[in-house]
Amino acid sequence: MKIRHFFTAVAVAFIASTSFGYVREFDNGIPLAWVKDRTVVMQLSLGTGTRILRDGFTSFNDSAIDALKTWNPHLAHLQFSWVKNSPVTPAEGDDEMSVMFDNKIFGSDFESGTLAVTMLAFRNGNFEETDTIFNKAVAWDSYRGALTPPVFDFHRVAIHEFGHTVGLDHPDQAKPKQNVVAIMNSQVSNLDTLAQDDINGATAIYGTGPAYNLIPDAPVLMDLSARGTTYTGNNVLI
């Protein structure tokens, strides 16, 4: 099964009127997460970089690494690691967590206005693979502060996308709707890093306490369901 969530860009800060809380990714009522005490190795294929980005990073790979590092302190029993300039050729069903720019979503067209999409593959409530594709047609940079469309901030989009990889969904699209400040809201805003609600969600899934015990990635059978999360619309992230 494949589902896409739409994340619309709005160049204003999101203001919460009533607080409830983070929202998890679910499949038919089953919460989705990685097996605890695992290192999720992200295969970064975002190019070597030909210019200095606004925040000083020399490549989008470096910006993506920093986005992953943003999540790691809040994942007691899970950690992201990465392969920069990965030799892995991104593909569906390969048990790899690929991150790339492309004009297609594994052969399918991006919907109009879509910035990026994360595909989640899972079985029995456990993630097995994720792939994040950033729309190559979008004008990207990496920066902080207020959004400056038509050039979009790769870094905050990456934080949001990797939040789906963690297992978080859009609070403002929950039923009932959750009115909270969060990078995981479906509308991109001037918020450029994790909010407390995002941190609460990550720690709720993967706990607190002693450091995790390393369990490296292992081959798995790939008879999986898949779910896509997207940002679309005018000036949108996925």
Domain boundaries, position 23: 8-231
**Binning pLDDT at 50, 70 and 90, where does residue 16 land?**
very low
Q: Is residue 131 one of the residues assigned to a domain? A: yes
pLDDT digits (tens, 9 = 90+) for 212-222: 554 444 333 33
- CATH code where residue 101 lies: 3.40.390.10
pLDDT at 67 over 80: yes
Domain contains 236: no
Residue 172 lies in a domain: yes
- For the cut 80, the answer to whether the pLDDT of residue 93 exceeds it is yes
List the alpha helices (DSSP H) in 30-103.
Answer: 60-71
Going by pLDDT thresholds of 50, 70 and 90, the confidence category of residue 235 is very low
**Cβ–Cβ < 8 Å for 132, 92:** no
Within a domain: 215: yes
Residue 14 has pLDDT above 80, yes or no: no
Number of folded domains that form the chain = 1
Predicted TM-score (pTM) of the model is: 0.85
pLDDT at 229: 44
pLDDT at residue 197, as a whole number? 95
Pairing of strands 26-27, 30-31: antiparallel
Q: What is the pLDDT of residue 39?
A: 97
pLDDT in the model for residue 174: 82
At a CB cut-off of 8 Å and minimum separation 6, what does 218 contact?
A: none
CB distance 188 to 147 below 8 Å: yes
Q: Provide the pLDDT for residue 173.
A: 85
Q: 13 or 53: whose pLDDT is higher?
A: 53
- Does 48 map to a domain? yes
Among 40, 60, 63, CA closest to 101: 60
Q: Could you tell me if residue 14 is inside a domain?
A: yes
Q: Look at residue 116 and tell me whether its pLDDT is greater than 50.
A: yes
Q: What would you measure as the largest C-alpha separation in the chain, in angstroms?
A: 46
User: Could you give the CA distance from residue 231 to residue 7 in angstroms, rounded to a whole number?
Assistant: 3
Residue 118 within any structural domain of the chain: yes
- Within a domain: residue 1? no
